[in-house]
Amino acid sequence: MRNLIVLSLVSFFQDVSSEMIFPIITYIIAGYGIYYFGIMEGVAELTSNILKLFSGRIYDRFSKAKPLVFSGYFLSTLGKSLYLFPFSPLIIILGRFIDRLGKGIRTSPRDALLSLSVKKEYQGRVFGIHRFSDTLGAITGPLILIFLVERLSPKSIILLALIPALLALFLILFVVEVRKVRIKPSHFSLILPGNLLIIFSLTALANISVGFFLLESPSLRQLPITYLLFNIFYALSSLIAGYLYDRLGFKIVFSASLILLLIADATMIILGNPYIPIIPFSIFYGIYDTVPKAHIGKIVGNELKGSAYGNFYFITGLCLFIGNISAGFLSNLVNHGEFIFSGIFASVSLLILHINKHR
């Protein structure tokens, strides 16, 4: 319970920092060309998820999560500090790269530590609560940004945003290691069932960045409002998704998330305005960010949890990279091409999920 509380607070403060900054850098880099945004998100996610593979295996080998978690959050804070330099595509992409580098180092060990801290029947709830706390920070960040955006310069806002990031670093000192069997991971193996990884990979391709929805906002002033709306529904859905998973199982809850993504893509194409589509998209995102991790925690043994999470993040990260890069270029070629792309892969994933016997 202590680790859940501490890590939830860490994620809360880190997300307050991140979500004060993300709408600003999204709006600025899109001014250089929306394809820069696609490149930024694609490179960021690829970097993050490659490192999640190795950090998970390192954790399983040495059973020490705390140094990996601390160094990961430290790098993310360092990456954010680069935005204090004069803006350019290179500085913004580099800052985002280092930020996601930190996320890649910390995430697999942190998720394994959370999973090991509770019984198997509560996996959905522990990840739901953690996601909820994380997203409360993502709600607080845009609220602060809405208040400050017309009062302070972007640089001043970024400087203030570093304060909660530093507080998150301090709180990591209170994390407690959980004893587990040390193993020397074998050469790369999937660990997770192949059919499950196919479903997760297709969904990752469909899971284009929320930034594509945000960029449909008419102005910088309205962009944080759209992002706030996203995070409110994301927080609520992630908490509820964990409980629903524990009660209803994987197939029902994950199917519902894909249907919601299809609704979000369709309404975005039809309306051309993010205020309604952002709601089903945020609910999808809350489920997607909770249920796979809970399911992995339930079906994988304690000795391989770090590696299992690392493999999951690595494979889906490659798909996120391809998806965001493709969506960025398609958005320049076809009107709402990014949402058409997302809808196609969500449909295929839903079809395979229902053909498959995995529950």
Pick 359 or 291 by higher pLDDT.
Answer: 291
Calculate mean pLDDT across residues 330-349: 91
pLDDT per position as a tens digit, 301-320: 777 777 888 888 888 888 88
What is the rounded CA–CA span in Å between residue 135 and residue 139? 6
What is the rounded CA–CA span in Å between residue 175 and residue 80? 24
Amino acid 180: pLDDT = 61
pLDDT per position as a tens digit, 174-197: 988 876 655 555 554 557 777 888
pLDDT per position as a tens digit, 102-141: 998 998 889 888 888 877 777 888 888 888 888 788 789 8
253-278 burial, b at 16+ Cβ within 10 Å, e below that, comes to bbebbbebbbbbbebbbeeeebeebb
| Residue 332: band (very low, low, confident or very high) from pLDDT cuts 50, 70, 90 | confident
Q: How far apart are the first and last CA of the chain?
A: 28
pLDDT per position as a tens digit, 16-29: 999 899 888 888 88
Is the pTM for the entire model greater than 0.85?
no
Q: CB neighbours of 63 closer than 8 A, spacing ≥ 6? A: 177, 179, 180, 182
pLDDT per position as a tens digit, 263-311: 999 999 998 888 899 999 999 999 998 899 888 888 887 777 778 888 8
What is the rounded CA–CA span in Å between residue 355 and residue 359? 11
Q: CB neighbours of 284 closer than 8 A, spacing ≥ 6? A: 237, 257, 258, 260, 261, 264
Q: Which CATH architecture has domain 7-175+191-355?
A: Up-down Bundle (1.20)
Amino acid 165: pLDDT = 95
